[in-house]
Amino acid sequence: MTSARKQRLAGSAARSGQARKRLGRLQSAGVIRDAATALFLKNGYLGTSMDEIAAAAGVSKQTVYTHFADKERLFTELVLGNTEVVEEFGQTITHLLVETDDLANSLRELARRYLNSVIKPQVLLLRRLVIGEAERFPELARIYYERVPERVLAALASSFEGLGARGLLRFDDPLLAAGHFVALVLWIPLDRAMFIPDSGNLDVPESERLADLGVRVFLAAYGRDGA
Amino acid sequence: MTSARKQRLAGSAARSGQARKRLGRLQSAGVIRDAATALFLKNGYLGTSMDEIAAAAGVSKQTVYTHFADKERLFTELVLGNTEVVEEFGQTITHLLVETDDLANSLRELARRYLNSVIKPQVLLLRRLVIGEAERFPELARIYYERVPERVLAALASSFEGLGARGLLRFDDPLLAAGHFVALVLWIPLDRAMFIPDSGNLDVPESERLADLGVRVFLAAYGRDGA
C-alpha cells in the first residue's frame, strides 16, 4: 500500500469515526427529545426534572446537558419543533381552495381535515401545556400562537381573498372571515377537549357533522348567495 | 345579681366568645383563600406550596391545614368557588332574550356582555390554570367545564328555543346553534388571549366590533330572514 493510499484510508476512517460520533450525538439528542416531550406533556414543565429526562432517555444527566443547555431551552425547542406540521396544512388550504369548482364541498373537506389535525391527543396535550405555561413562558406561548393558529388564519385569509376575487365569497375583512371559519369549525369540540382530555377523540361521524355544520353557517354569511 | 342572671350572662359571653372565634375562623379562611388564589393563578398548582400560602396569608401553616385538609382540596375549592358568576350570566341571557322585540340588538348586547365577562385577566388566568392542570386534575377540569362553558351553552340553547317558537330563529338543534353563537362571539379574542396574556385587555371599540360581527354571521345563518 502506498503511503498516499494509507493516508487516504486513515483520513477516511477518521472521517467515518467522526460521522459515527455525529450520528451517535444526533441519535442521543433524538432519544432525549422524545423522552422529554413525553414527560413534559404528561407532567408539565415544573413537574419534569432533567434527572427524569435523563433516566427516561437512558443517558446520563451530563449527556442531556451536552445537548441542551438547560430545561428551559429544551422545553422551548420541543414546543416549537412541533409547529412544522402547520406549514403543510397551509399548503393543504391553498391546494383545496385555489381552483375549486365546488366551494361548499372544498370547504367541508378542509374543515374536516382541520378538525382531524387539531382534535387529537398529542396536539391537545401540547396546546394545554403551552396555554398552562403562558404566564411562565409568555414569549414561547406568543411564538407558538404566531406559528400555529395565526399562520392557519393567514393562509385561510389569503385563500379567501382569491375566492372573493372570483366572486365565490363576499366579505369586507378576509382575516375576520378566516377567524369565523376557524371558530365555527373548531370551537365546539376544541373548547370541550381543552377541559376534558377524554373527549379528545371524536368519532368520525360526529367530527364530520360538526365540520359540515360549521361550513353551512359560514357560507350562509359569506357565501355568494347566502347558501 | 341573681345566680340565674349570672348564668345567663356567662352563657351569653361564652356564645359571643364562640361567635368571635367563628368569625375569626371565617376571616382567616377568607385570607387564606385570597392568598392561595393569587399564588395558584400566578405560579400554577405545582409552583405553589402550602408554606408560601401560609406566608402570604400571614398565618401559620398549621392554620392553613386547619381550614383545608391539603393543597389539592384547597385548589379544588378555589377553582369551583369562582364559578358562581355563571349563574348570574344565565339570568342575563334569559332577561335579554326572553321578550326581546329587537333580536339583533338584544343579541349584540348579549354578545358584548359575554365577551366582557370572559376576556378579562382574572377569568383568563383561571381558564389557563384549569386547562393547564386538566391532565393532573381531570375531574376538576370536567366539573369546571360543566359549570362554566356548558352552563352558558344550556342557558343560551334554552332561550334560543323560545325564540325559535316565536319564529325569530330557525334551527334544527338549539344546542348546536348556541355553540355556534359562542364560537362566533368568543373564539377570535379568546384563542389569542389564551396564548398571549397581554392581549387579555380588549379595548371597548374592538370588543364591540367583534361581538357585533359575530352576531351578524350568526343571524345570517339562524335569523328568520337570513339577516
Q: Which of A41, A197, A70, A201 is nearest to A130 (CA)?
A: A41
Look up residue A86 and give its three cell numbers. Answer: 402547520
Distance CA A189, CA A200 (A): 8
Start-end ranges of CATH 1.10.10.60 in chain B?
3-70
Q: Tell me how many degrees the CA angle B213-A209-B181 measures, rounded to the nearest 5.
A: 25
List CB contacts (< 8 A) between B199 and chain A. Answer: none
Residue pair A107/A23 in contact (Cβ under 8 Å)? The answer is no
pLDDT score at B176 = 98
The CATH classification number of B3-70 equals: 1.10.10.60
User: Three-state DSSP class for A82?
Assistant: coil
Q: What is the mean pLDDT of each run of 10 residues along chain B (227 residues)?
A: 68 72 79 92 90 95 93 90 84 94 97 94 91 92 94 96 96 97 97 89 89 98 77
A180 has pLDDT over 90: yes
Q: What is the pLDDT of residue B115?
A: 95
Amino acid B1: pLDDT:
57
Nearest to A196 among B142, B176, B198 (CB): B142
pLDDT of residue A201: 74
Q: What is the distance of C-alpha A191 from the center of its chain?
A: 18
pLDDT in tens, A204-225: 899 999 999 999 999 999 998 6
Q: Which of B140, B139, B181, B138 is nearest to B159 (CA)?
A: B181
A76-134: pLDDT as tens digits: 988 888 777 888 899 999 999 998 999 999 999 999 999 999 998 888 999 999 999 99
Q: What is the pLDDT of residue B227?
A: 43
> Could you tell me the CATH superfamily of domain B82-222?
Tetracycline Repressor, domain 2 (1.10.357.10)
Min Cα distance B17 → chain A (Å) is: 45
For an interface test with A, the pick among B107, B115, B135 (most A C-beta atoms closer than 10 Å) comes out as B135
Quote helix, strand, coil % in chain B, to nearest 5: 80, 0, 20
Q: Is A130 on the interface with B (CB under 8 A)?
A: yes
Q: What pLDDT score was predicted for residue B5?
A: 72
Give, in degrees to the nearest 5, the angle at Cα B21 between B17 and B27: 145
Q: How many CB atoms lie within 10 A of CB B48?
A: 22
Cell numbers at residue A188, please?
365546539
Q: Which residue of A has its CA nearest to B124?
A: A131
Dihedrals phi, psi of B193, to nearest 5 degrees: -70, -25
pLDDT computed for residue B2 by the predictor = 62
Domain with CATH 1.10.10.60 in chain A: 3-74
Mean pLDDT for A128-142 is 92
Instruction: Summarize pLDDT for A23-73 with one digit per residue, the tens.
Output: 777 778 889 999 999 999 888 898 899 999 999 999 999 999 999 999 999
Name the CATH topology of A3-74: Arc Repressor Mutant, subunit A (1.10.10)
Is the model more confident about A102 or about A11? Answer: A102
- When pLDDT is cut at 50, 70 and 90, the band that residue A13 belongs to is low
CA distance B10 to B3: 10
A21: pLDDT strictly greater than 80: no
Q: Tell me, what's the ipTM?
A: 0.86
Q: Note the pLDDT of residue B14.
A: 67
* Pairwise CA distance, residues A156 & A174, whole Å: 8
Length of chain A: 227
C-alpha–C-alpha distance, residues B110 and B155, integer Å? 12
Residues forming a β-bridge with B223: B169
Per-residue pLDDT tens digits for A186-198: 999 999 999 998 8
* pLDDT reported for residue A43: 87
Q: End-to-end alpha-carbon separation of chain A, Å?
A: 82
The boundaries of every CATH 1.10.357.10 domain in chain A are 82-222
pLDDT for position B175: 97
**Burial classification of residue A21, based on how many CB atoms lie within 10 Å of its CB (0-12 exposed, 13-18 middle, 19 or more buried):** exposed
Cα distance between residue A149 and residue A172, in whole Å = 21
CB atoms A149 and B186 under 8 Å: no
Q: Dihedral angle at the C-alpha atoms of A199, B43, B87, B98, nearest 10 degrees? A: -70
